[in-house]
Amino acid sequence: MVGKHKASDYVIDGVIILVMLIVLVVVMYPLLNALAISLNHADDTARGGIGIWPREFAWESYRNVVNNTITWRAYGVTVARTVIGTVTALFSTGIIAYGMAHSNLVGRKFYAIFCLIPMYFVGGLIPMFLLIRAMGLFNNFWVYIIPTQIGLFNIILMRTFFQTLPESLEESAQLDGANYLTIFFKIIIPISTPIIATIALFIGVFHWNDWFFGNVYITNPALRPMQNVLMGLVEEARFAEMMAAIAGQGGGGMGAALAAAGRGRPTSVRSIQMATMFITIIPVIIVYPFLQRYFIKGIMVGSVKG
């Protein structure tokens, strides 16, 4: 902004800063409050009025979650599907995007339309469910990996990036007798860090946060990822409340009933729920600020080409 500031400018500045502060509080308060609950002694939490800082510090909820084998196993499933799913999907998406970036590709137009149609017209939940069932992927770890190999939108993002690479790179390698496969692995992949980071973040976050596959295709608890353990906790808590309500423990209602069941212990259903939630979301929360420039770039490319 150039030159003098008028009084009205300061009013506008004030309003904008105020709105921004409100946004920050609305975004952060529920999370900080949950963090405080997870770190507070349950008896004290039951008295109410917990803000964003624990009044009576207690680590037990986290100790409880960390010592739980179910959590460890689920965490392992989440990590495994995220790593395997991201690496394999990057490869699958990368090869087709690289091929389609070539203007001399025979059938290029056909391939492009072939990839475009399913972006607007999808088969939907039920045919997909039956297909995966017919493939024998029920209660099978590979159900996380196989049906999630190629995202059509990611093809467009990667292809756009590959199209910006100089042709001379490829031509000189071809003169040396390298074929496209060699060029892709030896030359293209090493110089494509920006797009690989962008797509890896998108796919990685999808895998880490996905609950649908674990809910619909998996009944074996050993194959359940973290998100579904969280969902199980919600369901268990609701069940416990219903039971308490049905038992009708006098005038205190279900709150009193639940409190009575856990009185004196540093943890409660709620503090353990919040601790589990934080343990689930923390890796993503720590990673995303460092990858900002990558996903911002990815979104911009997508908006131009999408």
Q: Which stretch binds other proteins (CB under 8 A): 56-64, 67-75, 191-199, 291-299?
A: 291-299
Q: Which is nearer to other proteins, 67 or 179 (CB)?
A: 179
Does 123 help bind other proteins (rule: CB under 8 A)? yes
Nearest of 202, 195, 259 to residue 46 by alpha carbon: 259
Nearest of 200, 64, 242, 216 to residue 147 by alpha carbon: 216
* Residue whose tokens read 């996905």: 210
Q: Letter for the amino acid at 274?
A: M
Nearest of 147, 260, 285, 278 to residue 205 by alpha carbon: 285
Judged by CB under 8 A, the residue of 53, 191, 219, 238 near other proteins is 238
Does 147 help bind other proteins (rule: CB under 8 A)? yes
Q: Draw the binding track, 188-207, toward other proteins (x: CB under 8 A; -: no contact).
A: -----------------x--
**What string of DSSP letters covers 81-103?**
HHHHHHHHHHHHHHHHHHHHT-T
Q: Which is nearer to other proteins, 166 or 264 (CB)?
A: 166
Q: Which is nearer to other proteins, 70 or 281 (CB)?
A: 281
CB of 223 to other proteins, least distance (A): 16
**What string of DSSP letters covers 180-234?**
HHHHIIIIIGGG-HHHHHHHHHHHHHHHHH--HHHHHT---GGG--HHHHHHHHH
Binders in 30-69 for other proteins, by CB under 8 A: 30-31, 33-34, 37, 45-46, 48-50
CB of 201 to other proteins, least distance (A): 10
Nearest of 246, 240, 262, 244 to residue 254 by alpha carbon: 244
CB of 69 to other proteins, least distance (A): 20
Q: Which residues contact 25 (CB under 8 A, 6 or more apart)?
A: none
Judged by CB under 8 A, the residue of 62, 75, 98, 144 near other proteins is 98
Does 105 help bind other proteins (rule: CB under 8 A)? yes
In the numeric block, which tokens belong to residue 304? 């131009």
Binders in 71-90 for other proteins, by CB under 8 A: none
Judged by CB under 8 A, the residue of 53, 72, 142, 174 near other proteins is 174
Q: Which stretch binds other proteins (CB under 8 A): 56-64, 66-74, 80-88, 125-133?
A: 125-133
**What string of DSSP letters covers 19-35?**
HHHHHHHHHHHHHHHHH
Does 246 help bind other proteins (rule: CB under 8 A)? no
Judged by CB under 8 A, the residue of 59, 255, 260, 263 near other proteins is 255
Q: Which stretch binds other proteins (CB under 8 A): 55-63, 103-111, 136-144, 191-199?
A: 103-111
Strand, helix or coil at 27?
Answer: helix
Judged by CB under 8 A, the residue of 193, 212, 221, 248 near other proteins is 212
Q: Please state, in angstroms and rounded to a whole number, the distance separating the CA atoms of residues 127 and 142.
A: 19
Distance of CA 81 to the CA centre of its chain: 12
Does 114 help bind other proteins (rule: CB under 8 A)? yes
